[in-house]
């Protein structure tokens, strides 16, 4: 912390107070944003914090002038929060910021137009970030983390304020996304349901009115929820929307969307190009995609099983929630393998190509180092035919699968297996 003289401290604080009050009087939203954005760690905010810690009695300054005392409560909490933030006391910083936020939202309600919406966004963002930091501090001190949960409640309150008929309602989607991030971090994703219901069914909201950036984020999170609930067609729609409307320059965001969209597309029979995986650094899917293309069951199993590696891919898939999607790809890999056998047979003996002997299939699997007895091979073929991945029938006694002459390996065409 730099040394600041009392005079200089006085000057800095007064300057900030003037800027704040002017911003409100002249409805200068971007100025207000800069004044509230703690996490930006801007030099002006940090120097203000130093000044506050030296001066110690900023409230007297506030009280002295009518101009400042109008926002006395808001400013007092804000200053206290900034002071604590500066000295690394994050739990205190959060608690004070929460009080500031409550007071600020009260004022916001009284302002008729939506001029301060951007500033409100900053407040919502900051409260979430501060809460996460505060929880980290609590856990490291052996206490139970509950600030992020509290931030969630406050965000719900803000949502309620915005959910009205006026121009402020376009801000509701931003707050919704902050709520999503909060709930996902807390693991309480089921709480997303109520706010989703409000956005999607309330008549005051028109989805198209919301800013594009917020729509993309919203579709990303609701798409992920569909993945968790295993509704793949719905997940496809939402994540594809997010991808389509995402700013192409935001590569990090595109990568995040693809991380979930790719497994969903795979389950619908749509395989991405290798260049895509390379461009966005999605190497974890390389093996899976390769396995699907080649019908290489061993590669798929290897990609989804335990390794002795330090970097356990299975854990990665489990954490991101796509594991169950990927497990179901096995049948598609079998289909691809059968198709390859069929194509090879067609080349050598076209008249008999449509007859797949179970023995031949077992042999192909043995080449892939997979040991399967004929009963299990028969079982797999039965399922493939039943789920319409293979067209034909099974002759049990002859131990042969007789393929249909027309289109024996139908494509999934964007529908999940077995539907």
Partner 1 sequence: MNRRSRGSSSSSGSVGGASDSCRRRSDVPRNRNNDNNKGGDSADVSFIVGTCSSMCPERERVTRERLRDLSVFERLHGNPTKSSSDLAVKKFCRTLSAADVQASDVRPLPVLEETLRYLLSLMDSREHPFEVVHDFIFDRTRSVRQDLSIQNLASERVIHLYEEIVKFHVISRQRLQSCSGASISSMHHLNMEQLAKTLTTLYNIYDVNRKPDYIYENEAEFRSLYVLLHLNTSSGVMGEPLSLWFRKLTSNLIKSKEMCFVRKLLRSYRNGNYRSFLRTTASEATYLQYCISEPHIREMRSFAVECINNVCYKLQPYPLLRLSQNLMMKYIIFRSWMLNLYAMSVVLRYVLIPMAALCCQRSRQASAVQRKVLKTMI
User: Which residues contribute to the site for partner 1 (CB under 8 A)?
Assistant: 187, 189-190, 227-230, 306, 312, 314-315, 318-324, 327-328, 330-331, 375-376, 379-380, 382-383, 385-387, 393-398, 402, 418
Q: How far is the CB of 357 from partner 1 (least distance, A)?
A: 14
Neighbours of 390 (CB within 10 A): 27
Alpha-carbon torsion (314, 315, 319, 324), positive or negative: positive
Please give the DSSP secondary-structure letter assigned to residue 166. Answer: S
Backbone angles phi, psi at 400, to 5 degrees: -140, 145
Measured from the CB atom, the residue of 107 and 330 that comes closer to partner 1 is 330
Measured from the CB atom, the residue of 199 and 331 that comes closer to partner 1 is 331
Q: How far is the CB of 266 from partner 1 (least distance, A)?
A: 15
Q: How far is the CB of 190 from partner 1 (least distance, A)?
A: 7
Q: How far is the CB of 364 from partner 1 (least distance, A)?
A: 18
Measured from the CB atom, the residue of 276 and 331 that comes closer to partner 1 is 331
Q: How far is the CB of 70 from partner 1 (least distance, A)?
A: 37
**Residues with Cβ within 8 Å of residue 391, at least 6 apart in sequence:** 385, 403, 404, 406, 407, 408, 409, 410
Measured from the CB atom, the residue of 343 and 395 that comes closer to partner 1 is 395
Measured from the CB atom, the residue of 143 and 411 that comes closer to partner 1 is 143
Neighbours of 308 (CB within 10 A): 5
Measured from the CB atom, the residue of 6 and 318 that comes closer to partner 1 is 318
Cα dist from 375 to 230, 331, 356, 371, 399, whole Å: 31, 17, 15, 12, 10
Measured from the CB atom, the residue of 87 and 374 that comes closer to partner 1 is 374
46-74: b or e for each residue (b if 16 or more CB lie within 10 Å)? Answer: bbbbbbbbbbeebeebbeeeeebeebebb
Q: How far is the CB of 388 from partner 1 (least distance, A)?
A: 11
Structure tokens at 215: 């729509």
**C-alpha closest to that of 29 among 112, 120, 155:** 120
Alpha carbon 245 to chain centroid, angstroms: 15
Q: How far is the CB of 381 from partner 1 (least distance, A)?
A: 8
């Amino acid at each position: 912390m730099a040394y600041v003289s009392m005079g200089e401290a006085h000057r800095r604080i007064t300057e900030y107070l003037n800027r704040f009050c002017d911003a409100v009087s002249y409805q200068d939203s971007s100025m207000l944003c800069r004044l509230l954005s703690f996490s930006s760690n801007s030099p002006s905010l940090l120097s203000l914090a130093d000044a506050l810690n030296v001066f110690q009695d900023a409230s007297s300054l506030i009280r002295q002038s009518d101009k400042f005392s109008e926002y006395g409560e808001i400013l007092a909490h804000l200053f206290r929060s900034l002071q604590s933030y500066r000295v690394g006391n994050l739990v205190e910083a959060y608690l004070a910021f929460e009080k500031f936020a409550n007071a600020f939202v009260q004022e916001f309600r009284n302002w008729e137009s939506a001029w301060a919406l951007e500033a409100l966004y900053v407040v919502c963002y900051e409260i979430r970030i501060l809460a996460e930091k505060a929880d980290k501090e609590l856990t490291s001190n052996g206490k139970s983390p509950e600030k992020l949960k509290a931030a969630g409640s406050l965000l719900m309150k803000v949502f309620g304020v915005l959910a009205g008929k006026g121009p402020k309602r376009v801000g509701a989607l931003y707050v919704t996304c902050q709520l999503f991030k909060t709930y996902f971090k807390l693991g309480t994703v089921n709480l997303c349901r109520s706010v989703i219901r409000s956005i999607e069914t309330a008549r005051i909201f028109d989805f198209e009115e919301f800013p594009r950036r917020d729509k993309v984020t919203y579709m990303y999170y609701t798409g992920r929820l569909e993945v968790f609930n295993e509704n793949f067609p719905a997940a496809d729609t939402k994540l594809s929307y997010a991808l389509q409307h995402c700013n192409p320059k935001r590569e990090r965001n595109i990568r995040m969307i693809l991380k979930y969209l790719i497994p969903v597309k795979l389950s619908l029979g749509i395989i991405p190009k290798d260049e895509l995986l390379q461009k966005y650094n999605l190497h974890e899917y390389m093996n899976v995609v390769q396995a699907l293309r080649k019908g290489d069951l061993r590669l798929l199993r290897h990609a989804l099983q335990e390794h002795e590696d330090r970097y356990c891919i299975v854990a990665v898939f489990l954490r991101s929630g796509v594991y169950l999607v990927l497990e179901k790809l096995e049948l598609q890999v079998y289909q691809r393998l059968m198709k390859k056998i069929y194509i090879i047979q067609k080349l050598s003996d076209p008249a008999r190509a449509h007859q797949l002997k179970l023995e031949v299939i077992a042999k192909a699997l043995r080449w892939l180092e997979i040991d399967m007895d004929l009963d299990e091979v028969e079982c797999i073929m039965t399922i493939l035919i039943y789920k319409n991945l293979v067209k034909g029938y099974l002759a049990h006694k002859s131990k042969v699968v007789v393929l249909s002459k027309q289109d024996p390996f139908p494509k999934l065409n964007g529908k999940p297996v077995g539907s």
